[in-house]
């Protein structure tokens, strides 16, 4: 059985990664691709290494012109999703990779490793942001098992540059990013409300988060290093995570600090923990590929869930190494 899928936002890194994953997906048949800046070109002109889908012509995005689709992946700039996606017919399921529909009524928050059963067979999925994907994966087991104080959470996250998208000029230019690290958006990043809502829901109590994103000189990857209050031991935290993620195909609980490179090009998330019960400190670490679990990988996983496919279909690649 073939599932007809489309992508809007093919020119961006997130849309491009959905395309890459669709190209080897066993049942997804990409029949539509749209992108503002590339309209009129064949996919192969934009993605020279694309393989069998190369002849598909990129369309100008217009919700009124959509062909019949089972699933539409939307990767639009912030603020452009709400109106446009409202015009997509109900028969087309949507995965919104952008941020406009997270915790919006009528949409299900697609944190697939934590809430697969709420996602299955839904029709409107808001894919989590890249920072939340890394952070929530690490923190969820601790909150679900009530091992930490939900009001004590500090998240110090390090991201590769592709998370900023393709714009940004010289700020994201090689010459300026190379040999540099900096924090940004101190005490006010856009992902905080999303993480607060999700963690409050997981823990059953209001969470309070301090979040500091950092830009580091790499293309892909996010590492979230989280500091929280709690009395559990390292082993109790690891055990909580192993139970929480039992049989979940994409989460790896590890007793060593994870490397983002372990996840490069995949939908995997690596979580680990270290605790100092005397000081009541628990550290949680989450490592992902920001375009994998942080965007397109999770989107495919969600699309598998809503269309009744095997959850891992098209996502079984191993990380690129080195």
Q: Taking CB under 8 A as the criterion, which residues in 56-115 touch its own copies?
A: none
Backbone dihedral region for residue 300 (phi beyond 0: left; psi -120 to 50: alpha; all else: beta): alpha
Contacting its own copies (CB under 8 A), which of 79, 173, 193, 204?
173
Residue 228 near residue 139 (C-beta atoms within 8 A): yes
Residue nearer to its own copies on the CB measure, 143 or 268: 268
Contacts with 282 (C-beta within 8 Å, 6 or more apart), sequence order: 142, 147, 148, 227, 228, 229, 230, 232, 237, 273, 274, 275
**Paired sense of beta strands 28-34 and 269-276, if any:** unpaired
- Residue span 137-156 as binding mask against its own copies, x where in contact by CB under 8 A, dash where not: -----------------x-x
Which residues from 198-227 bind its own copies, rule CB under 8 A?
208, 210, 212, 214, 216-221, 223, 225, 227
Span of 13-21, 89-97, 127-135, 189-197 interacting with its own copies by CB under 8 A: 13-21
C-alpha distances out from residue 319 to 217, 247, 259, 272, 303, Å:
19, 20, 11, 18, 21
* Residue 226 bears catalytic tag: no
From the list 95, 53, 45, 47, the residue with the least C-alpha distance to 70 is 95
Nearer to its own copies, 128 or 258 (CB): 258
Residue 286 interacts with its own copies (CB under 8 A): yes or no? no
Site size for its own copies (CB under 8 A): 80
Residue 122 or 227 with smaller CB distance to its own copies: 227
* List 184, 206, 235, 242, residue binding its own copies (CB under 8 A): 184
Among positions 247-276, residues that touch its own copies (CB under 8 A) are 252, 254, 257-266, 268, 270, 274, 276
- Nearer to its own copies by Cβ, of 72 and 226: the residue is 226
Calpha distance 139→160 (Å, rounded): 21
Cα end-to-end span (Å), the chain: 36
Of 22, 130, 226, 237, which one is the catalytic site residue?
A: 130
Which C-beta is closer to its own copies: that of 63 or that of 249?
A: 249
* Rounded Cα gap, residues 316 and 112, in angstroms: 16
Residue 62: CB atoms within 10 A of its CB come to 11
Site for its own copies in 32-51 (CB under 8 A): 47-51
Segment interacting with its own copies (CB under 8 A) among 91-99, 102-110, 130-138, 169-177: 169-177
Give the DSSP letter of residue 56.
P
Taking CB under 8 A as the criterion, the residue among 97, 138, 287, 299 binding its own copies is: 287
Quick one: tokens of 36? 């503002």
Q: Can the peptide bond before residue 322 be classed as cis, meaning omega within 30 degrees of 0? A: yes
Choose between 121 and 184: whose C-beta lies nearer to its own copies: 184
Catalytic residue ranges? 130
């Amino acid at each position: 059985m073939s599932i007809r899928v489309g992508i809007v936002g093919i020119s961006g890194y997130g849309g491009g990664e959905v395309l890459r994953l669709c190209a080897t997906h066993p049942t997804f048949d990409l029949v539509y691709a749209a992108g503002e800046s590339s309209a009129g070109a064949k996919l192969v002109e934009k993605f020279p290494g694309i393989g069998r889908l190369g002849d598909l012509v990129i369309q100008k995005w217009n919700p009124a012109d959509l062909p019949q689709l089972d699933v539409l992946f939307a990767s639009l700039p912030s603020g452009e999703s709400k109106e446009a996606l409202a015009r997509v017919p109900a028969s087309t399921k949507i995965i919104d990779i952008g941020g406009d529909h997270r915790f919006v009524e009528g949409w299900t928050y697609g944190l697939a490793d934590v809430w697969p059963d709420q996602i299955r067979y839904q029709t409107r999925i808001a894919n989590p942001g890249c920072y939340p994907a890394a952070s929530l994966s690490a923190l969820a087991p601790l909150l679900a098992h009530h091992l930490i104080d939900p009001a004590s959470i500090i998240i110090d996250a390090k991201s590769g540059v592709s998370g900023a998208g393709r714009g940004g000029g010289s700020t994201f230019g090689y010459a300026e990013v190379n040999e540099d690290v900096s924090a940004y958006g101190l005490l006010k990043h856009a992902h905080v409300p999303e993480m607060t809502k999700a963690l409050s829901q997981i823990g059953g109590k209001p969470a309070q988060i301090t979040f500091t994103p950092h830009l580091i000189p790499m293309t892909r990857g996010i590492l979230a290093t989280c500091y929280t209050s709690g009395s559990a031991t390292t082993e109790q935290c690891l055990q909580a995570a192993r139970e929480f993620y039992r049989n979940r195909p994409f989460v790896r609980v590890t007793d060593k600090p994870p490397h983002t490179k372990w996840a490069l090009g995949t939908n995997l998330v690596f979580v680990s923990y270290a605790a100092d019960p005397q000081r009541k400190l628990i550290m949680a670490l989450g490592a992902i590929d920001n375009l994998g679990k942080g965007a397109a990988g999770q989107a495919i996983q969600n699309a598998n869930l809503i269309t009744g496919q095997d959850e891992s279909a098209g996502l079984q690649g191993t990380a690129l190494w080195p």
